[in-house]
Amino acid sequence: MSTATPTLCERPVDTWRGMPAAQQPQWPESRALSAATGDLRRSPPLVIASECDLLRQRLAAVARGEAFLLQGGDCAETFDTVTTATIRTKLTILLQMAVVLTYAASMPVVKVGRIAGQYAKPRSKPTETRSGITLPAYRGDGVNGLPFTALARTPDPRRLVRMYQASAITLNLLRALTTGGYADLHKVHAWNQDFVAASPAGKRYETLAGEIDRALAFMNACGVDPRELHRVEFFTSHEGLVLDYEAALTRVDSWTGLPYATSGHLLWIGERTRDLDGAHVEYFSRIRNPIAVKLGPTVTADTALALIDKLDPAREPGRLTFIIRMGADLVREKLPDLVRRVTDSGALITWVCDPMHANTFAAPSGHKTRRLGAVLDEVRGFFEVHRALGTHPGGIHVELTGDDVTECVGGSTEIAFDDLGSRYESACDPRLNRSQSLDLAFLVAEMLRER
Ligand SMILES: O=C[C@H](O)[C@H](O)COP(=O)(O)O
Ligand SMILES: C=C(OP(=O)(O)O)C(=O)O
Ligand SMILES: [Mn+2]
């Protein structure tokens, strides 16, 4: 084996250009786009190939039924919230959920944030109208600004460079926290400190943390090295939506000669951009990262099989994840045929449930919201389908935050419609708050244990 240090050379993967690309920003005519992508092409990668390969191996274990995926974070990260407190709180809730799942199900949990790159949004309408004024829709801080002014809503390619910088800053802190001691399993109580008294979910977590303490003391007495639990593996992911950005950060790994998206470990294709003949599927077919595709209730098994042919022709476990977002009312009806046909084809896919995106509705106040009850019910339906077919319900993909926001209704702290206005902070979709996220983790843990 060569002892040379691997480097990531630059060589764009450009076959997608000229193909129909849905949901792309309408950049104003200027040289700003080529200046921004030029900057990005000259910039160091955010992640390297071997990390992506490791995540692919971890997802292969999920596909084989040996592990569970927890993927979560904001619907849309914002530049203003690249702060120590926000990043640490998002990591903390994911660590707490992972502990609940790992302990209750005795199964390794692969931890992936919707973080350090989740700055671009597909929208159902290209414009937004308020009081008779129509402006371009907000498409994420990587594209335009949230304030409802013509200036903010005009797409600005310089934001792509800020997106890279914000991702780098976030990733830097995540790497420090996950390897430097903050994520040490001996800190299970510390992660919960400011939370216990405030919520039933926090109290339930505290009881479990006590059990973990006793298990750790036992392991210590048996001579297990406590340093083994000092760091956690944590990966990043985002929707690979803006192809100018992703292409500019694509690098060829000099060890393997293969191209990798280096903006995050795992990228996914959204429900609105998974056209088989479209630019996104083409671009994703060329990169070597583990990738995912969102599948909503209109997908057919034929389309799913065609996506597998295009995106995972070698049928490599861990390469392709299907993130199912059918809705609580449709998952039991629509998912079985899909899983059956894919399984019969011989493909070993990682199946993940996104119980958020098909359960969104407008509250009487106009806020976009989701009922925790529907979220839990979709997850339950997802597990039921897999149990009936003998396949593995591989994971959950959730929009959440560690802050005590009021964006989704329900949960053990009972957020009602009237509460939504008090702390609605999402720039796009409603997220589960800390207590609702733990409620979900306890439910999933119970279902995993029942298997
Ligand atoms: O995750 C994001 C949303 O689901 C997507 O942007 C669509 O939202 P919209 O219907 O408000 O445009
Ligand atoms: C837009 C999203 O999801 P979907 O593509 O499933 O609608 C999202 O994950 O924020
Ligand atoms: Mn969303």
Residues making up the annotated binding site are 75, 114, 271-272, 294, 325, 357, 399, 429
pLDDT confidence band for 1 (50 / 70 / 90): very low
CA atoms of 434 and 205, how far apart (whole Å): 12
Q: Whose CA is nearest to atom 6 of ligand 1?
A: 123
For residue 75 and ligand 1, the question of a CB distance below 6 A is answered with yes
User: CA-CA distance, 386 to 293, in Å (whole number)?
Assistant: 19
pLDDT mean over 83-89: 97
Element (H, E) at 413: none
Q: Are 305 and 339 in contact (CB under 8 A)?
A: no
Class in CATH terms, 50-118+233-450: alpha beta
Residue 160, CB-side half-sphere exposure with 13 Å CA sphere: 28
**pLDDT attached to residue 197:** 65
Whole-angstrom distance, CA of residue 99 vs CA of residue 103: 6
Between 412 and 36, name the one with better pLDDT.
36
Is the predicted pLDDT of residue 363 greater than 60, yes or no? yes
Closest residue to atom 10 of ligand 1, CA basis: 124
Residues 402/92, Cβ–Cβ less than 8 Å: yes
| Ligand 2 site, residue 12, Cβ cutoff 6 A | no
Query: What is the Å distance from ligand 3's center to 360 Cα?
Result: 9
Q: Is ligand 1 within 6 A of the CB of residue 122?
A: yes
**Res 6: pLDDT:** 53
* Predicted complex ipTM: 0.98
* C-beta of 77 in contact with ligand 2 (< 6 A): no
What Cα–Cα distance (Å) separates residue 404 from each residue in 8, 90, 170, 364, 407?
41, 11, 21, 21, 9
* pLDDT digits 0-9 by tens, 227-248: 888 999 999 999 999 999 999 9
Q: Which residue has the tokens 């009922």?
A: 371
Instruction: Tell me which long-range contacts 313-317 makes (C-beta under 8 A, separation of at least 24).
Output: 315/346, 315/347, 315/348, 316/56, 316/60, 317/59, 317/60, 317/63, 317/64, 317/348, 317/350
Supply the residue whose CA is at minimum distance from atom 2 of ligand 2.
270
Q: Which residues are annotated as a binding site for phosphoenolpyruvate?
A: 114, 271-272, 294, 325
Look-up of token digits 């040996």: 66
Contact between 291 and 311 under an 8 Å Cβ cutoff? The reply is yes
Whole-number Å distance between alpha carbons of 213 and 266:
33
Distance CA 143, CA 159 (A): 6
> Is residue 270 within 6 Å of ligand 2 at its C-beta?
yes
- Asked if residue 5 has pLDDT above 70, the reply is no
Q: Give the three-state DSSP class for 129.
A: strand
Structure tokens, 375: 């979220």
Q: What is the dihedral of CA 150, 153, 157, 162, to 10 degrees?
A: 120
Q: Which helix (H) or strand (E) holds 282?
A: helix 279-286
The full set of domain ranges for the chain reads: 50-118+233-450
Residue 211: φ, ψ to 5°: -65, -40
As a whole number, mean pLDDT of residues 198-226 equals: 89
Residues 103-115: pLDDT tens digits?
A: 988 899 999 999 9
Question: How far is the C-alpha of 425 from the C-alpha of 76, rounded, in Å?
Answer: 11
Q: How far apart are the first and last CA of the chain?
A: 43
For all residues of the chain together, what is the average pLDDT?
Answer: 95
Buried/exposed code over 53-76 (b: 16+ C-beta within 10 A; e: otherwise): bebbebbbbbbebebbbbbbbbbb
Whether residue 58 is predicted with pLDDT greater than 70 in this model: the reply is yes
Ligand nearest to the CA of 139: 1
| Collapsed DSSP state (helix, strand, coil) of residue 310 | helix
How far does residue 76's CA lie from ligand 1's centre (Å)?
Answer: 10
- Cα 383 to averaged position of ligand 2 atoms, centre (Å): 21
Average pLDDT over residues 398-424: 93
pLDDT band at 2 (very low <50, low <70, confident <90, very high): very low
Cβ burial of 231 (10 Å; 0-12, 13-18, 19+) is middle
Cβ partners under 8 Å of residue 266, min gap 6: 52, 55, 59, 71, 112, 235, 236, 237, 289, 290, 291, 292, 321
Residue whose CA lies nearest to ligand 1 atom number 8 = 123
Res 83 pLDDT > 80? yes
What's this model's pTM, rounded to 2 decimal places? Answer: 0.96
